[in-house]
Structure 1
Amino acid sequence: MNETLVCAVGNVATQPVYRELAAGPSARFRLAVTSRYWDREKNTWTDGHTNFFTVWANRQLATNAATSLTVGDPVVVQGRLKVRTETREGQQWASADIDAVVIGHDLARGTAAFRRTGKPDTATPASPAPPRPEPNWETPAEPPAESPAAIAEPVAVT
């Protein structure tokens, strides 16, 4: 498949717009991505050009994005880039959209509290699933080292 996959890090520029469509939920918002660079003359970080993308989300991602994102939130968006050109009133316009596969808060710039969404009820189980045991996180101890004589001596198999 020949698609352009991108990962954009920026801020939510508009409140997500949520719609229930025949094909399922859909949401869109504008993402502002500003480059930053180190200005040696001023000895400080400086903002560069800002690019704006329209981010489209579908199905459960749309529902979660609409309820989780607000203007100004730092986010990471991964998806398929689609660049469109059109002519409006005699002027040529270009727009860049991202058909999102993944959207998440940028934890390098803040914290988030994750909450799982409930799965749609297809059938209610008769009894809840038993809790999973806690994994053993300890590193196993290394086996005792063999004596040099035992390592150097070949073992015959009969």
Structure 2
Amino acid sequence: MNETLVTVVGNVATTPVYRELPSGPVARFRLAVTARYFDAAKNTWNDGHTNFFTVWAWRALGTNVQGSVSVGEPVIVQGRLKVRDEERGGQHWTSADIEALTIGHDLSRGTSAFRRVARGNPALTAPVSERGEEAEGARDREPAPVG
């Protein structure tokens, strides 16, 4: 498979839009990626050109994006790059989309609190409280047999 995989670091530029489709849940948002360069003469960092990507997150990733990502937050996105050329109503435009495989907050620029989402067999996943502690009685439960 000859796909272009990319990893981009940028800021969420639009509020994620979440939809339930027949093919499953999807979330999309625009990501602003600005090049930075060091000007040795002025001893300062400067912003260069900003590229915008539309990030598509499908299935569980889309559901988690909807509950975790907000405008202005720094994120790292890894996924498949898809450049589209289209013409509508006599106007030609090109867009760069990323079909995300993974998305996470950029922890070099702040902190984040991870919350595991229980999926599948509830007996295999111990409920977790807001403080990260196991729910009362969860430690005493025997896990269900696998297989």
Matching of residue 128 in structure 1 with residue 141 in structure 2: yes
Q: What residue ranges of structure 2 are gaps of 5+ in the alignment?
A: 125-139
Q: Take 1:19 and 1:96, find their aligned partners in 2: how far apart are those partners?
A: 21
Mapped partners of 1:81, 1:102: distance in 2: 13
In structure 1, what is the Cα distance between the partners aligned to 2:37 and 2:90? 36
Corresponding residue number in structure 2 for 1:47: 47
* TM-score of the aligned structures, taking structure 1 as reference length: 0.76
**Which residue does the alignment assign to 2:79?**
79
1:118, distance to aligned residue in structure 2 (A): 1.1
Distance in 1 (alpha carbons) for counterparts of 2:31 and 2:101: 15
Shift of residue 88, structure 1, vs aligned partner:
3.2
Instruction: Please state how far the C-alpha of 1:2 moved relative to its aligned partner.
Output: 0.3
Match of 1:65 in 2: 65
Structure 1 counterpart of 2:34: 34
Match of 2:113 in 1: 113
- C-alpha deviation, 1:39, in angstroms: 1.1
The one-letter code sitting in structure 2 at the alignment partner of 1:107 is L
Partner Cα separation in structure 2 for residue 71 and residue 120 of structure 1: 30
2: CA distance, partners of 1:16 / 1:93? 22
How far is the alpha carbon of 1:90 from its aligned partner? 2.9
Please list every run of 5 or more consecutive structure 1 residues that lacks an aligned counterpart in the other structure.
Answer: 131-158
Deviation at 1:81, TM superposition (A): 0.2
Report how far residue 30 of structure 1 moved: 0.3
Which residue does the alignment assign to 2:135? none
Task: Give the Cα separation in 2 of the matches to 1:74 and 1:129.
Answer: 40
CA deviation after TM superposition for structure 1 residue 124, in Å: 5.3
* Equivalenced residues, count: 128
Fraction of identical pairs, as percent: 67
- Structure 2 length as normaliser, TM-score? 0.82
2:10 is aligned to 10
Aligned letter for 1:128? R
2: CA distance, partners of 1:8 / 1:20 = 26
Larger Rg: 1
Output the CA distance in 1 between the equivalents of 2:42 and 2:89.
Answer: 43
Using the alignment, how far apart are the partners of 1:55 and 1:47 within structure 2? Answer: 22
